[in-house]
Amino acid sequence: MTSNEGRARGAETPHRQGKDRLGDAARGWSEDLISVAQARTLDGLFLQRVRRSPERPAYRYHDRARSTWSQLTWRETAEQVGRWRTALASEALEPGDRVALLLRNCPEWVFFDQAALALGLVTVPLYTDDRPDNAAYILEDAGVKVLLVQDAKRWRRLAAVLGEPATLRRVILLDPGREARPLVEQDERVVVATDWLPHQGAAWRQREGRPEALATIVYTSGTTGRSKGVMLSHANILTNVHASLTVIDCFQEDLFLSFLPLSHTLERTGGYYLPMMAGAAVAYARSVGQLSEDLQAVRPTALIAVPRVFERVYQRLQQQVLGRPMPLRRLFRLTVAIGWLAFERAQRRRGWHPLLLLWPLLRKRIAAQVTDRFGGRLRLAVSGGAALPGEVSRLFIGLGLPLLQGYGLTETSPVVSVNPLQDNRPASVGVPLRGIEIRVGQDDELLVRGPCNTLGYWNNHAATAQLIDHEGWLHTGDQARLDDGYVYITGRIKDILVLSNGEKVPPADMEMALSLDPLIEQVLVIGEGRSFLSALLVLDADLWVGLAREYGLDPEAPESLEDPRLHKGMLKRLRDGLGDFPGYAKIRRVALTLEPWSVESGLLTPTMKVKRNQVLQRYADQIERLYQFDG
């Protein structure tokens, strides 16, 4: 049975899917969109952009040698792509062969990707911080023939577990450090990019590639089992980019700051191909640790991030505000409240209020201190990849940051829905993109059908059949409801905890709320088959010292984490954090640790999602102690 079927809203609802009202920063800016028909393929999109905007800025990056920011135009980018294309062509590859990148965000990511696509090759992105054994599995499963690696250190770690797969014939080291040369001498497959690349590349024209052809295989960082290779075509991604641009405007004058890994489909589609289709420029952040500095240096107008980025800023703001005198704390809360009123009025959801007279002053004196941390020019920030806590979105929107929440999956290229700027409903994940059909099926599961749906899983027909039914509906695994054309994610089918009394508890929202506590670095709510809920908490190591001393404990002693008084205090914090939740959200016991869950430990995916089953296995003994006197 299905219900609440809805279609993407296009011309029939121009007030929602039409062009956004321009903000002050974008007045006088110009659009120059390339159509899907003109592009045909992703490499065709690049060549069309080069022809249209040869001298406009394309990419900015930090030159470490000169300690300054440098810039490439589209023409200069095409020259570099030509060099990489010529070098790849010398490797005797056939159209459809797979080539991989193990590279942080940089212009060379684009050079290699576009060069490969122009030869009809299939790119396979790898996460730079993924476990070597998982990267090795992907290389073998995809039958990768050429691999571009950041540096000798990463290749050495990977080679130690990879062995010598029959398909891998060339390994290119981008950084020509001292460690690279010995590897070149030891393994004839290994070359340094500066030696491998010709001084100048051969000219090429847009090929007659098929839009339906496979463009990339993106391995999902699943929370259970081995990663699955999601096959995406040129048409999958191009139609997704174009549909996104029917909801959110993007201009030639826009500047994106790219810091999510390009191996993440959200960043690749939204922060790479989308700016290319619109003619906007992209700056590559140096690292997450230097993000605050790069925001000030680059001053972007557009930003794509995952909720954790905004949650971290939220936590720091909360700590700073708590350290201020009471009058300043009240003024900050008043600013957020009035800013929210201003937002609601701008969205035409409420009328005028006398407090709005204070907004211009409060925005300049208080709110700007926060928005300036993002560079002061941000007209658009999109959060995706996971649910954004309501408190976080309310704070940033209340301070004047135009924050939009969206929804998607790697299997949908990835965007399914996003909030329009002119009708932003923060509790939702927005309206479906044009051309995408959605409906709510059995168990309230969100089903998606449209041109963005994956071709299937590489070498895994059984998983493909489970994902897409005979009518073409893709089963997301997420529970949702539809209201006035907007999508609201309500839970995840597989993550529902069923207590021994039969009560069903969705833990994700609870975990999201608890993670806003600055003291809690990571959290997992548990209780499957038990009579009550408990929680595994990873405490912030920096704040632990102060907390331990507050309870008269030795922060260096492992047994301090077992102190009953500390547990009682933590349970009170959890009750406060879950104060707005229904009665089922009651946590009775906790287990504490200072050891963060990481990709390296196998407890997080490369996209920073908790591997629930692995965490439960790792802490099985502690969990059993929590329920030793169950009931």
Q: Are 266 and 35 in contact (CB under 8 A)?
A: no
Which pLDDT tens digit goes with each residue over 66-113? Answer: 999 999 999 999 999 999 999 999 999 999 999 999 999 999 999 999
**Whole-angstrom Cα distance, residue 273 to residue 245?**
11
Domain 496-626 grouped into CATH 3.90.440.10: no
**Whole-angstrom Cα distance, residue 35 to residue 138?**
33
Residue % of the chain over a pLDDT of 90 = 79
The answer, yes or no, to whether residue 130 has pLDDT greater than 70, is: yes
Q: Is-same-fold flag (42-247; 496-626)?
A: no
Judged by DSSP in three states, 443 sits in helix
The pLDDT of residue 288: 85
The answer, yes or no, to whether residue 151 has pLDDT greater than 90, is: yes
Containing H/E element for 360? Answer: helix 359-362
User: Please, what's the largest Cα pairwise distance for the chain?
Assistant: 75
Q: How does residue 222 score in pLDDT terms, banded at 50, 70 and 90?
A: low
Mean pLDDT for the chain overall? 91
DSSP state of 265: H
The answer, yes or no, to whether residue 25 has pLDDT greater than 60, is: no
DSSP state of 269: I
Sort strands 486-492 and 474-483 into parallel, antiparallel or unpaired: antiparallel
The pLDDT of residue 567: 96
Mark residue 118 as left, alpha or beta (left: phi above 0; alpha: psi -120 to 50; beta: remaining): alpha
**Whole-angstrom Cα distance, residue 88 to residue 123?**
12
Which pLDDT tens digit goes with each residue over 447-490? Answer: 999 999 999 999 999 999 999 999 999 999 999 999 999 999 98
Per-domain residue ranges of the chain: 42-247, 306-493, 496-626
Bridge partners (DSSP) of residue 68 are 63
Domain 42-247 grouped into CATH 3.40.50.11400: no
Containing H/E element for 322? Answer: helix 307-322
Query: Across residues 281-292, what is the average pLDDT?
Result: 94
Q: Give the helix, strand, coil percentages of the chain, each rounded to 5.
A: 40, 20, 40
**Whole-angstrom Cα distance, residue 162 to residue 174?**
19
The pLDDT of residue 224: 53
Which pLDDT tens digit goes with each residue over 562-599? Answer: 999 999 999 999 999 998 777 777 899 999 999 999 98
Whole-prediction pTM: 0.85
**Whole-angstrom Cα distance, residue 118 to residue 111?**
11
Q: How far is CA 480 from CA 7, 477, 486, 490, 516, in A?
A: 15, 10, 10, 5, 23
Provide the CATH topology of domain 306-493.
Rossmann fold (3.40.50)
Which pLDDT tens digit goes with each residue over 346-391? Answer: 999 999 999 999 999 999 999 999 999 999 999 999 999 888 889 9
